[in-house]
Structure 1
Amino acid sequence: MCGITACVTAAADRGDDGDVVDVLLGGLRNLEYRGYDSAGVATTAGDGVTVVKREGGIDELAEAVGVVEPTGRAGVGHTRWSTHGAPTDANAHPHTDCANRVAVVHNGIIENYQSLREELAADGHSFTSETDTEVVPHLVAEALADGATPDGALRAAADRLEGSFALAMVVRGHDAVYAARQGSPLVVGVADGRRFLASDVPSFLQHTRDVVYLEDGDVVRATGDGHEVTDRSGRPVDRPVESVDWQAEDAERDGFDHYMLKEIHEQPAALERAVNGRVSADGDVHLEDFPPGSFADVSDVQFVACGTSYHASLYARQLLAERGVPAQVFSAGEYATTPAPVDEDTLVVAVTQSGETADTLQSVRRAAADGARTLAVTNVVGSTAARECDDALFIRAGPEIGVAATKTFSSQVAALSLLVERLTGDVTGTAGEHRDDLLRALDRLPSDVQQILDQSGPAGLADRFRDREGHFFIGRGVGFPVALEGALKFKEITYEHAEGFAAGELKHGPLALVTPDTPVFAVFTGRHDEKTLHNVEEVQSRGAEVVGIASEASADVAATVDEFLPIPDTHPAAAGVLANVQLQLVSYHVADLLGRSIDKPRNLAKSVTVE
């Protein structure tokens, strides 16, 4: 959930002094979307290590850097999201050993830090923070004192740690960056005369698109002239250099007030990439790695996911249920500890935008260990999920910077819808009713979403529905997960209370909370709309105002609800994607009116890489 950045440069190759401080600050700014509450940098120059760290934002850190003026050809930086200890200057990363010889930054959780801390304290080490991370530089210092090289000392320290971690460090007297990975993402950036290291590619995307994805157990020594990757025993391992297809401008706001609004508007292009080439000219599904028959031996499907990805999984499960394919959806946090029974005919689908979500990774590992086949549906080609699962289906959404997922949800649903069609054909032996109509609707999604974006309906509703007692979202079929996702987006960025329900569940308890001060957002997909209209009338009779999201041709809905947000007429299975765009815009405009931190909501992080 935190952010790591690092850079080392060969000054002679660059024609300058090779100072990396500005690069580190820029890398940290590029990682702000991950969520954080403190930040810091450490550089090594000559025989010294300089650490500057502050509670608060990058601006506060940059101000302190301007006073201290650290320099160096090698450095590490960090944005911290507190897990052990409050967000204070002392608890911010980097952390050092007693002699200020080693500076370390860390993502993840070291589960045995307390016992290590007690052991080190008994040996004379003193600690200045409450964090689990601080044991690492002290362990490294002990190994250095015993004669180990810096990378050897990092291996020795990593061998003592239990839990998940991505570590990066600098050592006094060495123009190099050292790193180790176990259960938390790290990637190396490759450029002439420089090497970068980060928890996510956008940190250094403006400098290079050539990357090396590290795997668990990898240890790296990087200099300006190159890098070496070894395993924990010191044996060299080959990790290929890959070129990401993202551009530096993909990680910029490009004139929009917020990344979230930019990414909402990028949905037509993202959906085009998600579907392009995957629907053949003769109206068949063409998934490049999954020809017909790929899933012929599957008897049941289990989805594991968290947050927005969980809602996309519910959407896919509904589509499978309508086609007669057994499927279940599990919260990855629960599945990791209490997995469902599986066998060799079970397909476990891990839906994760980053491919690094800790709970989801633990879930598929448990399922694989029990003999299930695993499939990752993810946005990141070199991610842990993509590498560890038996197969991978990429959603092709491009980088998403805003914490609140928008274009990745749409792309997940589009990619999962195509997967559903392949599964249906393989498992049932039939193409499914109205399949051609659905594929045409998926093909039209980019233009249909663009039509919604060209309107301005939600912006006009924002003032009317802010500062209410609560906000309810309801839907049926694929409209139900869209209602859940709409409520999640609303609460994430407005900080206002919002809940999503299956429309028919209102009368089984939630109706008691409905008052004239609780607007209801009702999703209509063109299937069972008459039942949802009955639910609308129930809440209206209690004084609630209703915003209906439905096809522009839905005269009954438009005549019944208090406010109407139209979507293009489409197949019911695709209508949820369009309704979701309207709800994203509602949440965005209300949050903007309330002056919320839209791209970096409080207490939240983009990628949850700890359990």
Structure 2
Amino acid sequence: MCGIVGCILKNDDDVAPILFDCISKLEYRGYDSIGLATYSENKIHIKKDKGKIKEVDDKLNLTDMPGNFGIAHVRWATHGDPSKLNSHPHVDEKRNVAVVHNGIIENYLEIKENLISEGHVFKSDTDTEVIPHLIEKFMNEGFDLEHAVRKTIDIIHGAYAIAAISTDEPDKIVATRKDSPLIVGIGEEGYYLASDSPAILKYARDIIYPEKGEIVVLDKNGVVVHDEFDNVVNKEIETINWTPEMAEKEGYDHFMIKEINEQSTAVRNTLTQKENIQEIIDDIDDIQRICFVACGTSYHAALSGKYLIESLAGVPTDVILASEFKYSAKTLNDKTLVVFISQSGETADSLKALDVANETSKTLAIVNVAGSSMTRRAKYVIQTQAGPEIGVAATKTYVAQLTSIYLFAALLAKDDELLKELDKVPDYIDETLESKELIKQLSKRYNYTNDFFYLGRGFTYPTALEGALKLKEISYIHGEGYAAGELKHGPLALIDKRTPVVVIVPPGDAHRKTMSNLEEVKSRGANVLAIGSASDDALKTKASDVISINPEVNELIAPLVYIVPLQLVAYYITIEKEYDPDKPRNLAKCVTVE
């Protein structure tokens, strides 16, 4: 859940301003501290502290550091409180080695005890600090930096992306990864490392994706990658088609509202994957069961997939949280297609589950980030076309995932009418976004509460879950999504005038029963914010407030459109409460530890 950056320039310019710029682009990953390390004149220079990037920079002037190569880090505390000592980069006691690390070293206590018994002195409470001490130990035994890193990863257990520099080998950065993201960028002015592409898009768009256990060496002359047997690996270079501008706010107050407004484009671009999806379906003949595996927002997209595939294609479909997958793994066989959904393609729980599923079943990944671990490990890949998403709370990547699932379900069921309807969805979203100002004003009425309920039936039940998640993620109001028919089985006891209820009521088979549920909560005193068709006159008389969707969108397509006002409600309530929707507390964009 941290972010790392490395850079070595071909010329002798100072690298600190570039490191600072790159690491600032990884704020969205979640962090509580920042640090940089550069090298010059046989010395490693380090500036680091807890706090937001601007706060630390104002105090330490992070761009004023000598040297043309270095590493940088934003940390989200896992071992040890946020503090200057616990911030990265970490060094050995002689300050000959500096390291940044994303992940968790599971056996660090055992390693630390052994190193202390050998005379090593530790200063932090982190698991990471064992890494520079191990590298120093092996370099003292005669290994160069690259092979000292290799010896180190033979000892440590867990997930990691690591970048290291040493005073004994100037003009070199050595990096490696296992179950944590790491990319290598090749630019005109130098060579780069990063946890995610937005960090380096400004400087390099030609990218190499190291595999688990490979060692990457960057120097002024280029990039060399070695496998676990020390053989040079000729890596394919991929060009990222995202521009730096795509990862900027472009005049919006927050990335989240920018990305909400980009959703019609995300859907339109993802619809271009129809041919690729048809090829996958043609190749997975004789599949008797589909199993979705996902986390968080992607889990809600998967739930929509279950409703779609079972109702349209009649294929039994399960949805399993990635963290719970191992308890169901024995039900898999060669007639099962296991579908993994992840924005980043680096979600730790999902990657573990993918490795298990690959042993018995065909696997499909629905992923937004090209070249991510999941795209390289799944048999089939559907690349969503949302572009870079910086806001921690997923918006446009969610609708892109849904679009991919709708395409898959429609093609699997040979439903030409649904395919035609999907082509209209971008316009439906744009028309819904025209209600932003109304939704903003309505949202001001609902920031008083500590609890919110969201109700949906059938296809809109997962939409209720996702709407509730958006609210709790960024506004810190407890939001709970329920299948509307479950009200009498417990939740109704919590409904009173202090508990507003969002009811999702599109036209369709579930409309009448959902309206009955609306009246149930209304009669218990709840304020009801309903989302339904502009032509639904009954809804306007029953609900306290209504967000109207025009033109009329039926319940089958509703999840792709009705989520937009729910995202806007969460966003505007958050703004009213004066919180930053792009950086919710305790959360990170990419969850790379289990």
Measured against the shorter chain, the TM-score band is: over 0.9
Cα deviation, residue 572, structure 1: 2.1
- The answer to whether structure 1 residue 444 and structure 2 residue 439 are counterparts is no
Q: Where in structure 2 are the equivalents of 1:550-561 lying within 5 Å? A: 550-561=532-543
Q: Where in structure 2 are the equivalents of 1:403-414 lying within 5 Å? A: 403-414=392-403
Cα deviation, residue 69, structure 1: 3.6
Q: Equivalents in 1 of 2:578, 2:46: separation in Å? A: 34
- The answer to whether structure 1 residue 578 and structure 2 residue 566 are counterparts is no
CA-atom RMSD in angstroms = 1.4
- The answer to whether structure 1 residue 297 and structure 2 residue 297 are counterparts is no
Cα deviation, residue 526, structure 1: 2.1
Q: Equivalents in 2 of 1:422, 1:439: separation in Å? A: 8
- The answer to whether structure 1 residue 518 and structure 2 residue 499 are counterparts is yes
Give the equivalent residue in structure 2 for 1:282: none
What one-letter code is carried by the residue in structure 2 that aligns with 1:416?
I
- The answer to whether structure 1 residue 47 and structure 2 residue 47 are counterparts is no
Q: Where in structure 2 are the equivalents of 1:371-520 lying within 5 Å? A: 371-424=360-413, 431=414, 435-455=415-435, 456-520=437-501
| Most deviating of 36-45 and 436-445 | 436-445
Q: Equivalents in 1 of 2:272, 2:162: separation in Å? A: 38
Give the equivalent residue in structure 2 for 1:593: 576
Which of residues 259, 263, 267 is equivalent to 2:259?
263
Q: Equivalents in 2 of 1:384, 1:561: separation in Å? A: 46
Q: Equivalents in 1 of 2:520, 2:9: separation in Å? A: 66
Q: Where in structure 2 are the equivalents of 1:95-114 lying within 5 Å? A: 95-114=90-109
Unaligned runs of 5+ in 2: none
Q: Is the 8 A contact 2:180 2:592 kept in 1?
A: yes
Q: Equivalents in 2 of 1:355, 1:289: separation in Å? A: 22
Cα deviation, residue 500, structure 1: 0.5
Q: Where in structure 2 are the equivalents of 1:190-269 lying within 5 Å? A: 190-269=186-265
Cα deviation, residue 340, structure 1: 5.1
Q: Equivalents in 2 of 1:451, 1:340: separation in Å? A: 46
- The answer to whether structure 1 residue 545 and structure 2 residue 541 are counterparts is no
Which of residues 328, 336, 350 is equivalent to 1:346?
336
Cα deviation, residue 336, structure 1: 3.6
Q: Is the 8 A contact 1:152 1:234 kept in 2?
A: no
Cα deviation, residue 556, structure 1: 2.3
Q: Equivalents in 2 of 1:562, 1:290: separation in Å? A: 48
Report Cα offsets for 1:202-240 as digits up to 9, x if no partner. 001111211111111111110132010011332111211
Report Cα offsets for 1:266-303 as digits up to 9, x if no partner. 0011111011362xxxxxxx335626532221000000
Q: Equivalents in 2 of 1:469, 1:133: separation in Å? A: 38
Normalising by structure 1, what TM-score? Answer: 0.94
- The answer to whether structure 1 residue 603 and structure 2 residue 586 are counterparts is yes
Q: Is the 8 A contact 1:295 1:423 kept in 2?
A: no
Find the residue that maps to 1:328 and give its secondary structure. strand
Give the equivalent residue in structure 1 for 2:296: 307
Q: Is the 8 A contact 2:460 2:555 kept in 1?
A: no
| Most deviating of 435-444 and 247-256 | 435-444
Cα deviation, residue 421, structure 1: 2.1
What one-letter code is carried by the residue in structure 2 that aligns with 1:458?
I
Find the residue that maps to 1:296 and give its secondary structure. coil
Find the residue that maps to 1:253 and give its secondary structure. coil
Which of residues 55, 64, 73 is equivalent to 1:60?
55
Q: Is the 8 A contact 1:336 1:359 kept in 2?
A: no
Q: Equivalents in 1 of 2:493, 2:445: separation in Å? A: 23
Which of residues 123, 131, 136 is equivalent to 1:136?
131
Cα deviation, residue 372, structure 1: 1.0
What one-letter code is carried by the residue in structure 1 that aligns with 2:526?
A
Give the equivalent residue in structure 1 for 2:25: 30
Cα deviation, residue 32, structure 1: 0.1
Find the residue that maps to 2:203 and give its secondary structure. coil
Q: Is the 8 A contact 1:315 1:481 kept in 2?
A: yes
Find the residue that maps to 2:208 and give its secondary structure. strand
Report Cα offsets for 1:179-208 as digits up to 9, x if no partner. 011111100110123001000000011112
Report Cα offsets for 1:320-368 as digits up to 9, x if no partner. 1212110000010111455351100100000001000000111111122
Q: Is the 8 A contact 1:155 1:233 kept in 2?
A: no
Closer, same or farther in 2 for the Cα pair 1:292/1:348, shift >3 Å? closer
Q: Is the 8 A contact 2:175 2:216 kept in 1?
A: yes
Between the two proteins, what is the percent identity of the paired residues? 41
Closer, same or farther in 2 for the Cα pair 1:300/1:109, shift >3 Å? same
Give the equivalent residue in structure 2 for 1:283: none
Q: Equivalents in 1 of 2:412, 2:63: separation in Å? A: 60
Cα deviation, residue 67, structure 1: 7.8
Closer, same or farther in 2 for the Cα pair 1:6/1:507, shift >3 Å? same
Q: Equivalents in 2 of 1:334, 1:63: separation in Å? A: 44
Which of residues 158, 173, 180 is equivalent to 1:177?
173
Cα deviation, residue 76, structure 1: 0.5
What one-letter code is carried by the residue in structure 1 that aligns with 2:546?
F
Q: Equivalents in 2 of 1:277, 1:329: separation in Å? A: 23
Which of residues 75, 78, 84 is equivalent to 1:83?
78
Q: Is the 8 A contact 1:52 1:64 kept in 2?
A: no
Normalising by structure 2, what TM-score? Answer: 0.97
Q: Is the 8 A contact 2:2 2:29 kept in 1?
A: yes
Report Cα offsets for 1:531-579 as digits up to 9, x if no partner. 0000000000000011111122222222321111112312422111111
Q: Equivalents in 1 of 2:72, 2:450: separation in Å? A: 42
What one-letter code is carried by the residue in structure 1 that aligns with 2:451?
G
Closer, same or farther in 2 for the Cα pair 1:337/1:59, shift >3 Å? farther
